């Protein structure tokens, strides 16, 4: 059991570090990590505070951020007065598919840079053109990626469940 707790703590801290690299707070990443490895798959505010050895205030700020980003959701359980938090099902693909607005903003930024270089030789515009073309490509591929994901997910999930002892 000690190894499991140590592995869980390591996972939670590494998730916090990784999410911090992506612009979230370290605590939001830790909350995300804790919700990824908890059994059952939800925790209350108090359980998160205890598990992460953090104040309710910092947990509250982190959960509000994750709720606002639609990464987690609040759930009520029959017979329980408190609210629980869990990872929103389907979040991973949704995070990428919903990035079209973000992709568009990158393209607009590239266009602004290209406008600033008006009259300059094409070589001066190469970096911005690469940026714009990359985001054109990603925006073009995201719908196909989402469609392929829907088809492949059940098969891949079945393989991973078998690999990690989940049966058929």
| CATH 1.10.10.10 domain position(s) in the chain | 2-88
CATH number for the region 2-88 comes to 1.10.10.10
Question: Residue 51 and residue 48: Cα distance in Å, rounded?
Answer: 5
Of the candidates 5, 8, 26, the residue with the CA atom closest to the CA atom of residue 16: 26
Asked if CATH classification 1.10.357 holds for the domain at 92-163, the reply, yes or no, is no
- The 10s digit of each residue's pLDDT in 76-134 is 999 988 999 999 998 988 877 777 777 888 899 999 999 999 999 999 999 999 999 99
Question: Residue 15 and residue 131: Cα distance in Å, rounded?
Answer: 29
- The 10s digit of each residue's pLDDT in 31-90 is 999 999 999 999 999 999 999 999 999 999 999 999 999 999 999 999 988 999 999 998
- The 10s digit of each residue's pLDDT in 144-166 is 988 999 999 999 999 999 999 87
The 3 state secondary structure assigned to 68-94 is HCCCEEEEECCCCCCEEEEECCCHHHH
Phi, psi of 115 (to 5 degrees): -65, -35
Can you tell me whether residue 44 is helix, strand or coil?
Answer: strand
């Amino acid at each position: 059991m000690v190894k499991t707790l140590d592995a869980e703590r390591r996972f939670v801290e590494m998730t916090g570090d990784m999410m911090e690299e992506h612009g979230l707070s370290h605590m939001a990443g830790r909350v995300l990590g804790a919700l990824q490895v908890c059994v059952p798959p939800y925790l209350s505010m108090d359980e998160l505070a205890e598990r992460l050895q953090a104040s309710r205030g910092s947990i509250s700020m982190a959960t509000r951020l994750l709720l606002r980003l639609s990464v987690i959701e609040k759930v009520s359980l029959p017979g329980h007065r408190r609210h629980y938090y869990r990872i929103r099902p389907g979040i991973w693909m949704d995070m990428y598919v919903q990035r079209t607005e973000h992709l568009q903003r990158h393209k607009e930024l590239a266009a602004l840079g290209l406008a600033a270089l008006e009259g300059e030789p094409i070589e001066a515009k190469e970096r911005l053109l690469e940026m714009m073309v990359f985001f054109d490509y990603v925006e073009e591929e995201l719908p196909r990626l989402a469609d392929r994901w829907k088809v492949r997910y059940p098969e891949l999930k079945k393989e991973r469940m078998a690999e990690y002892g989940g049966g058929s």
